[in-house]
A and B are shown apart, each in its own frame.
Chain A
């Protein structure tokens, strides 16, 4: 069966769009931290600086031992972070302060590593 030549670019455009819209079917986290059953109120933020597995792990390490944080899931390619937290123990403002704190580097300097870019909740 003869096909019109214009079919190829149309298929390619459909592929690019299909790939984009299919992405939700393949969503998996980059890093996960859960305390207890991980339940609580949810908070979803775009955080500049969360861009790979290493930065995700470092981001999560900022919250080790922080009371009220029940879960953190990062999606590095989207720079997205999802918190589950206990609103009686910690507030979104406090979480933001922890994220945006200056971090001490090996050479003794301090700098901010993560910045909250958008607040979806």
Chain B
């Protein structure tokens, strides 16, 4: 519980700062902090040496910083800082109370649906690089929410997309992060090799499964010796949930 308080506090601070920027305070817009903006800017920088649309140096430096973080500590940015991840997790917890996990997809379907984000990433990057415009804005919950469906949103299409994401977040925890987030897709290969990961002591484990129940991404931690799963955000909920002392721990290993 202690770790969750720290985590939620940090995420609430980040969310508060984003809202502060979205309200027009501060020199930079909330959009300037998004690491995915760094990915969107790459083609324009390589071909013309200029940033596309509203992207800037902070997007790029945040992208580099988050990629380095993923190599060190997997997708910790997603589990400890991303405001959309935070909102998704809160919605998912509310949904769990209402539906009691009956709406979670099984492992097979879950694994298939997780692949959706890769073609989505490819399509959005292709369209963005082709048009030199931020095409993703119209589908991006971060932009749509904090800009109040601002310039670049697609009217009814954006309302439907955000509506589906909101309903999905209640039915399946981390719905957007699991299946749709393009930044998550970029981070996946880096997360796989992330140095700091949850490790399980097989001898002392009682296979109670509480670790998987507590995991926002339904990772079957009780079947892993090292949690290399690309979705692991190092939220450490599994370690907190484990009733046995020292079975799960955070360790630095390849």
What is the interface of chain A, defined by CB distance below 8 A to chain B?
Answer: 1-9, 11-13, 15-16, 18-20, 22-32, 46, 51-54, 75-79
Contacting B65 at CB < 8 Å: which of A1, A16, A30, A75? A16
> How many contacting A-B pairs (Cβ < 8 A)?
130
Contacting B51 at CB < 8 Å: which of A19, A29, A79? A29
How far, in whole Å, are A18 and B61 apart by their CA atoms in the complex?
A: 8
- Is B39's CB within 8 Å of the partner chain A? no
- Is B139's CB within 8 Å of the partner chain A? no
Residues of B within 8 A of A (CB-CB), count? 47
Is A8 in contact with B196, judged by CB distance below 8 angstroms? yes
For A25, list chain B residues within 8 Å (CB): 57, 61
Residues A29 and B50 in contact in the complex (CB < 8 Å), given A3-B251, A9-B10: yes
Interface members, chain B 7-65 (any A CB < 8 Å): 7, 10, 14, 27-29, 31-32, 35, 45, 49-62, 64-65
With both chains docked as a complex, state the minimum distance between the C-beta of A2 and any C-beta of chain B, in angstroms.
5
Q: In chain A, what residue has the closest Cβ to B45?
A: A28
Is A12 in contact with B76, judged by CB distance below 8 angstroms? yes
Is B234 in contact with A8, judged by CB distance below 8 angstroms? yes
Is B58 in contact with A15, judged by CB distance below 8 angstroms? no
